[in-house]
Amino acid sequence: MILGIGTDIIELTRMERSLSKGEEFKRLVFSKEEITYCDSQGNSEASYSGRFAAKEALLKALGTGWVGEMKLYDIVVLNDDKGKPYFDLRGEVKNEANNKGAVSIHLSISHSKNHATAVVIIEN
């Protein structure tokens, strides 16, 4: 049964502006694994944007938004060996997903020249 659905879209230029302010933004929002991955990509703004949209979409699907002790860097977006993105939840975000009864979380990320978008479906 579907527990929640979330979607988000972000302009790549918005992410580019945030990234240009220094490393602190990266550390507040992204895990070390995500930073390593995104920085290795040819268009890192698109990779960062897609992951940011995925984090926002997950919080919408959980129905919580970004509250309490939740840290955006505890929502880690990784890729399997075929490139498919998936979540590795940690900390309070993981606790919230478990408390809501999340059994399976599906993630899709897309990029265009100007935007990145993500869709999340949570099943219980």
Tell me the per-residue pLDDT of 9-35, one tens digit each, with 9 for 90 and over: 999 999 999 999 889 999 999 999 999
Indicate which residue of 94, 106, 111, 115 is catalytic: 111
The count of structural domains within the chain is 1
CATH code where residue 33 lies? 3.90.470.20
Quick check: helix, strand or coil at residue 28? helix
Backbone angles phi, psi at 61, to 5 degrees: -65, -35
Question: What is the predicted pLDDT for the residue at 22?
Answer: 86
Question: What is the predicted pLDDT for the residue at 79?
Answer: 95
CB of 78 closer than 8 Å to CB of 96 = no
pLDDT of 36-93, one tens digit each?
999 999 899 999 999 999 999 999 999 987 777 899 999 999 999 999 999 999 999 9
- Which residue range is the domain that position 55 belongs to? 2-123
Residue in the block written with tokens 């990266």: 26
Question: What is the predicted pLDDT for the residue at 68?
Answer: 76
Structure pTM? 0.95
- Cite the DSSP H helix spans in 10-83: 12-19, 23-29, 32-39, 44-62
**Residue 111 annotated in active site:** yes
